[in-house]
Structure 1
Amino acid sequence: MTSPSAAASSAATRSDAARNRGRLLDAAAGLIAERGSDVDVREIARRAEVGMGTLYRHFPTKEALLDAALEYVFTSWAASATAALTGRAWPDLSGFLADALTRQTASPGLLDAYCQALPGQAGNTARQHCRQQVGPLIADLVRAAHESGELRPDITAEDVSLLLVALGRIAPVVPEPAWRRILHVALDGLRTSAATPLPDAAQATPGH
């Protein structure tokens, strides 16, 4: 039988381990948001205030740590964005885009991680986590806006993802009123009332 003192010691050890793992994920996620995925594990350990031995006990490789951190980043983003939904299709879509640009402006590395998640790009880990966490949210927002009749019917979730990347490149280099103005222009272009025929994607590709 395990003595009460041994049980208490074991529980404290598990608590310390969970706390250290959380600190490592917070530190890694913060550095990814600031700089992208090309971060040094030694800096992650320093920010988490743990030793390298502790880091490697939880994450035996840098890839394992970045994988867990990217999942944490996209899960946190999706959870926060979902919590902000109001049930009104157009305000939810426009609010999501504005919130995403605010996040990308504050954390430039988040855009780099998001770009890795786009089809045809390197970064299978980022793509997997974004597809599982943020992708369904964007698809739901687009579907609801289609059903409400406010979003032009030829706009896809991928269109919205690419628009977010394009606006994300603008937002960090101009004052907030400027990127919000451009977002407003883009949103007007997504509305059913403003629709004109889109070019075929293949025809719009250079070389076609």
Structure 2
Amino acid sequence: MTSPATRSDAARNRGRLLDAAAGLIAERGSDVDVREIARRAEVGMGTLYRHFPTKEALLDAALEHVFTSWAEQAAAALTGRAWPDLSRFLGDALTRQTASPGLLDAYCQALPSQAGNTARQHCRQQVGPLIAELVRAAREAGELRPDVTAEDVSLLLVALGRIAPVVPESAWRRVLQVALDGLRATAATPMPMPMPAQ
């Protein structure tokens, strides 16, 4: 029977492994070596494999950790004002993606064309509902054009996320403002075609 101290150590090591893996994914994407994760977490390989028997299991748990943290922080920043909340979420997401390039790679894996992968599942479970709620609230407030979907906003994040890391912040914020103006109900023109079915 394990003692409380042993369980506490195990929980602490698991948390360190998740933080290390999440940090490396944010920096470089999911193509990271488990030995480097163990080094950053300051645990041995035996400890890593006791918690996560495969690299896939570790990366799966780390991606869930990343997306859960993102969703929780974004939700905590909501003010109840629909358009400012949507605008702030997009700006904060791009700031996060610029600081953590690998996060965008994980986010891109969550797009509809990549159905079935774990990044998509975690993103849709954690960040997806938040984006859907922001879109719904802004539509109901009459501030977001009525034909914009949560998938449109997700794709917009990916597109802007490719620009943000390679230009100064002032430049990507200008492009974001252009995009936000295009999302406004008052600027709406007919969409060329519906979003493809998922």
**TM-score, normalised on structure 2?**
0.94
**Number of residue equivalences:** 195
Q: Deviations over 1:57-93 (max 9, x none)?
A: 0000001000100000000000000000000000000
How far apart, in 1, do the equivalents of 2:63 and 2:33 lie?
15
Indicate yes or no: 2:36 matched with 1:43.
yes
CA apart distance, 1:3: 11
123 and 115 in structure 1: CA distance in 2 versus 1, 3 angstrom threshold: farther
Equivalent residues of 1:116, 1:123 under 8 A apart: no
CA apart distance, 1:2: 11
90 and 44 in structure 1: CA distance in 2 versus 1, 3 angstrom threshold: same
CA RMSD of aligned residues (A): 2.6
Which is greater in Rg? 1
1:202 paired residue number: none
194 and 77 in structure 1: CA distance in 2 versus 1, 3 angstrom threshold: same
SS in 1 for 2:43: coil
How far apart, in 1, do the equivalents of 2:197 and 2:101 lie?
32
Q: After the TM superposition, which segments of 4 or more aligned residues of structure 1 sit over 2 Å from their partners?
A: 1-4
CA apart distance, 1:121: 1.8
How far apart, in 1, do the equivalents of 2:125 and 2:12 lie?
26
CA apart distance, 1:120: 1.1
**TM-score, normalised on structure 1?**
0.90
Which structure 2 residue ranges, 5 or more long, are not aligned? none
Indicate yes or no: 2:189 matched with 1:207.
no
Q: Deviations over 1:122-145 (max 9, x none)?
A: 661001100100000000000000
How far apart, in 1, do the equivalents of 2:31 and 2:152 lie?
27
Indicate yes or no: 2:113 matched with 1:120.
yes
118 and 42 in structure 1: CA distance in 2 versus 1, 3 angstrom threshold: same
